[in-house]
Amino acid sequence: MGTIEEIPIRERPLKELLFIVYFFPPMGGSGVQRPLKYVKYLNEFGWKPIILVPEPGLYHSFDSSLEHELQKLIDKDCVQVYRVKGGTPLHWNSSKKQWRPGIRIEKWLRRFSHFFYLPDNKKGWIKQGFKQAEEIIQKHSIDAIYATAPPYSNLMLVAKLKASFQIPVVMDFRDDWLESHLINYPTPIHKILMRRLESRTIAFADTVIAINEPIASAIHRRYPFLPRVVVQTHGYDPVDFDTSLFPDKRFKNKLINKKETSRLETIRILYSGTFYSDSGPDIFIRAVNELIKNVPSLSSTLELHFQGSPIDPYISLINELGLHNNIYNHGYVPHNQAVLRMQKASILWLNNEHKKHKHTITLSKIYEYMATRRPIIALIPEGDTKKILKNYTRSYITSPNNIKEVSRIISKAIGDIQAGNLKPLNEEWLKAYTTKSITQSLAHELDALID
pLDDT of res. 263 = 42
Q: Are strands 229-231 and 267-273 parallel, antiparallel or unpaired?
A: unpaired
Please check whether residues 339 and 382 belong to one and the same domain.
yes
pLDDT of res. 401 = 86
Q: SS3 helix, strand, coil % of the chain, rounded to 5?
A: 45, 20, 35
Query: Residue 166: which CATH number?
Result: 3.40.50.2000
Q: Give ∠ CA 136-22-117 in degrees, rounded to 5.
A: 110
**86 pLDDT higher than 50:** yes
Query: 1 lies in a domain?
Result: no
Number of Cα atoms under 13 Å in the Cβ half of residue 406: 23
pLDDT of res. 246 = 54
pLDDT of res. 360 = 80
Q: Phi-psi region for residue 131, left (φ > 0), alpha (ψ -120 to 50) or beta? A: alpha
DSSP 150-161: SSTHHHHHHHHH
Report how many domains make up the chain: 2
Query: 85 lies in a domain?
Result: yes
With 0-12 / 13-18 / 19 or more C-beta atoms within 10 angstroms meaning exposed / middle / buried, residue 129 is buried
Query: 166 lies in a domain?
Result: yes
> Could you tell me the pTM of the whole model?
0.89
Please check whether residues 216 and 256 belong to one and the same domain.
no
Q: How confident is the model over 331-349, as a mean pLDDT?
A: 93
Nearest to 347 by CA among 312, 311, 298, 310: 298
Q: Where are the alpha helices (DSSP H) in 234-330?
A: 249-254, 282-294, 315-320
Please check whether residues 249 and 376 belong to one and the same domain.
yes
Distance of alpha carbon 341 from alpha carbon 335, whole angstroms: 10
Please check whether residues 262 and 279 belong to one and the same domain.
yes
Please check whether residues 48 and 140 belong to one and the same domain.
yes
Nearest to 365 by CA among 274, 240, 242, 253: 274
pLDDT of res. 354 = 59
**55 pLDDT higher than 80:** yes
Which residues, 6 or more positions from 195, have their beta carbon under 8 angstroms from its beta carbon?
178
Q: How confident is the model over 131-143, as a mean pLDDT?
A: 97
Distance of alpha carbon 351 from alpha carbon 405, whole angstroms: 14
Query: 4 lies in a domain?
Result: no
Mean pLDDT across the chain, nearest whole number?
Answer: 89
Q: What is the pLDDT of residues 223-278, one digit of tens each?
A: 999 999 999 999 999 999 986 655 444 444 444 443 444 344 899 999 998 887 66
Which domain, by its residues, includes 320?
239-431
**353 pLDDT higher than 90:** no
**280 pLDDT higher than 90:** no
Query: 3 lies in a domain?
Result: no
**325 pLDDT higher than 50:** yes
DSSP class of residue 43 equals: G
pLDDT band at 54 (very low <50, low <70, confident <90, very high): very high
Query: 396 lies in a domain?
Result: yes
Which residues, 6 or more positions from 196, have their beta carbon under 8 angstroms from its beta carbon?
none
Please check whether residues 184 and 245 belong to one and the same domain.
no
Please check whether residues 350 and 224 belong to one and the same domain.
no
**87 pLDDT higher than 80:** yes
**6 pLDDT higher than 70:** no
Q: What is the pLDDT of residues 106-130, one digit of tens each?
A: 777 778 788 888 999 999 999 999 9
Please check whether residues 354 and 441 belong to one and the same domain.
no
Please check whether residues 134 and 282 belong to one and the same domain.
no
Q: What is the pLDDT of residues 392-437, one digit of tens each?
A: 999 999 988 899 999 999 999 999 999 999 999 999 999 999 999 9
Please check whether residues 331 and 225 belong to one and the same domain.
no
pLDDT of res. 400 = 85
pLDDT of res. 391 = 95
pLDDT of res. 103 = 65
Please check whether residues 285 and 184 belong to one and the same domain.
no
Please check whether residues 219 and 350 belong to one and the same domain.
no
